[in-house]
Amino acid sequence: MATTTYIDALEGAYYKALNGKILLNGVAVPVYRSFVDIQKSDTYYILIQNPSSVGAESKCDNDQDASIQIIIYCRGAKISTANLRLMAAQVYDLVYPDRSFRLPVDDYQNINQKLVSDNVTSDMDTTTTVQILERIIIFKHQLS
């Protein structure tokens, strides 16, 4: 019997896979779960957010379709889209290096994993002239 919920286990698996392992200029990029205080945040950081699950339409009553967002943030007066791409490449290497890869999820079997979307957005904080780039990557899993 599983000791954690599907979404807690999935969020934990991504945190375990990414925390301390995404590097820029040899320095680990901070990884946060669910929320971050933007006023105290670094120029570059990764947020694991919005895990969700619903019953899967499968032969097994315990299967769940679960999804999660990995958001890569770049904030500052002079930020680099190259760094955004570099961090995204590292995320992919760790959690989705190829279509057959299944991220280990404690207490559950990761039956299927796929990329749902990968989008880049940009914005400007007009009060501080801080540029904000976000890359939002969404993965879907079938867990049992």
CATH number at residue 129: 3.30.70.1700
pTM of the model: 0.89
pLDDT at 64 (0 to 100): 85
* More confident site: 3 or 130: 130
pLDDT tens by residue, 82-105: 999 999 999 999 999 999 999 999
Residue 74 lies in a domain: yes
Residue 83 lies in a domain: yes
pLDDT of residue 48 exceeding 90, the answer is yes
* Residues in Cβ contact with 34 at an 8 Å cutoff, skipping those fewer than 6 apart: 11, 47, 48, 49
Residue 120 belongs to domain spanning = 6-143
* 18 vs 39: CA distance, rounded Å: 23
Q: What is the domain count for the chain?
A: 1
Percent of the chain topping pLDDT 70: 90
Residue 1 lies in a domain: no
* Residues in Cβ contact with 81 at an 8 Å cutoff, skipping those fewer than 6 apart: 74, 133
